[in-house]
Amino acid sequence: MNKFYNLPLQKKIVSIYMLANFLIFIVNIFLIFGINSMSKEMEMVYQDNRQLNELNEALTGVQDSMTGYLSSKTTDSLENYYRNAQTLQTLSEELGGKVTDLSFSRMRRNIKNMTENYLDQVSQTIEAKRGRNVEKYRNFYEKSTELYDYISAYIESLNNEQFISNSENYTELTAAFRTFERLSVLVLSLVMMGNIISITIIVGMMIRPLKKLAASANEVAAGNFDTKLPETPYHDEIGIVTDAFGQMVISIKEYIIRLRDSMENERKMQEKELTMEAHLKDAQLKYLQAQINPHFLFNTLNAGAQLAMMEGADRTYEYVQTVADFFRYNVKNHGTEVTVKEEVTLVDNYIQILNVRFSGDIQYNKQIDERLLGIHMPNMILQPIVENAVNHGIREMGDKGVISLRVYREDDNACISIADNGKGIEPEDIDKILSGSWHRKEHQYDNNGIGMDNVISRLRIFTENDDAFSIKSEGKDKGCEVIIRLPLEKV
């Protein structure tokens, strides 16, 4: 038995399948032979009755053909007689002539003898008719007819007696056949049930190690590497897979321990790196935001003092209040992030202060999508750009200078556009500004503001995108547009 279980799975399954089918095939062969044998016996039950019926039909055919010839004396009727006589002669010889004590055999022998005598009388009748001997053929015809009636009655009597006897035999054979059918079904059912039980037991013993392996695999899949590993005493494919699975689980368990230790060390290192990076970024932002030039404060306050001497207190108050709001924003928003709305308000105040300083020469237009005002951005971004546009774009244009501020959505970005109709910027200068290679003395605006490289650096750090800041200009005296793109996920 162990030799069988050590066979490969394919050979074991094929062996079980062939054995089960062979047993069913053998049982079916015996059942088919038995059924065929009983069917033949049942077919032979009424063979004697069929033979007697054929004999009676042939006898009637001879009598009718003889009568037809006597009445018409045609060639066709004569040929018909000879055919019927030959048939009757053949059938009568099949009745047999053995001398036995059985009543049916004696009656069949008597029928045969009477049939031979009848055929002889009919033959003499035909010959007498052909010889035109009227008296003779009438005499033979009467004897033939009398003998025909007697033979027909005898055949009918024997046929009835044999039918009764055969019916009893047929009933017995039918009962035996039904019993054989039930027995066949019972035997076939027992064989099939035996095969099913045997196959179930054998296959169960074959796949029991596979079930244990599947249970262990589920435990391992759930993360339990301490589960008991299955063992198998056989060396088929399942045994090989079971042993390989055990080795694999042990290797994975050891690898997870090593990986866990490695990940823990790496996590600690990453935490240190992230902490250092956060401190570095915070230092960068604070450093970039710390470059506000205080000279602008003195210039604006000086302009306020001059205005106070020239005009009444109301306008002076409004101006000073605007200046206070402007610098209050810088003091209040010392953090790194503000809303777009706060930055736009700062630009509004800044333009108002400039218009006081320059007698209202700056035209200022706004197109704002109110839905985007809550988006966060670094502080002190828009004012330095506007300051740059005034100082280097429209400062010498008088009242023809225009500053346009737009806030709108483009794809997944909130865009802020600051445009002027001033001097414009050459393409090579735009590249220098964006790359940070512009000389410092050239991008300070009368020492009154935050440098453009400061604005660009903070935007790129904040958005983590180098395309967050772009400059468009068609050339000299064509104006300039600065576009800031803030990702909407920063909302």
Q: What residue spans define the domains of the chain?
A: 2-210, 295-490
DSSP state of 339: E
Q: Give mean pLDDT, residues 289-296.
A: 48
pLDDT-based confidence at 372, cuts 50/70/90? very high
Task: Decide which of 3.30.470.30, 3.40.50.300, 2.60.40.10, 1.20.120.1730 is the CATH code for 2-210.
Answer: 1.20.120.1730
Task: Decide which of 3.30.70.260, 3.40.50.150, 3.50.50.60, 3.30.565.10 is the CATH code for 295-490.
Answer: 3.30.565.10
Q: Give the bridge partners for 414, in sequence order.
A: 409, 486
Checking if the pLDDT of 100 tops 50, the result is no
Enter the pTM of the model: 0.41
Q: Which residues contact 272 (CB under 8 A, 6 or more apart)?
A: none
Q: Give mean pLDDT, residues 59-72.
A: 85
Same fold for the pair 2-210 and 295-490: no
Q: What is the pLDDT of residues 14-61, one digit of tens each?
A: 777 787 777 777 877 877 777 777 666 666 656 777 878 888 888 898
Q: Which two tokens stand for residue 143?
A: 């004897």
Q: Give mean pLDDT, residues 183-210.
A: 76
Q: What pLDDT does 237 receive?
A: 67
Checking if the pLDDT of 472 tops 90, the result is yes
Q: What is the pLDDT of residues 145-175, one digit of tens each?
A: 888 889 888 888 887 887 787 777 767 777 7
Q: What are the Cα distances from residue 162, in Å, to 158, 166, 170, 172, 487?
A: 6, 6, 12, 15, 111
Of residues 39 and 186, more confidence is placed in: 186
Q: Give mean pLDDT, residues 54-82.
A: 85
Look at residue 406 and give its three-state secondary structure.
Answer: strand
**Most trustworthy range by pLDDT among 21-30, 61-70, 237-246, 342-351:** 342-351
Q: What is the pLDDT of residues 377-419, one digit of tens each?
A: 988 899 999 999 998 888 888 888 999 999 999 999 999 999 9
Q: What pLDDT does 444 receive?
A: 41
Average confidence score pLDDT of the chain: 77
Checking if the pLDDT of 227 tops 80, the result is no
Kindly give the pairing relationship between strand 480-487 and strand 363-368.
Answer: unpaired
CA distance 376 to 335: 12
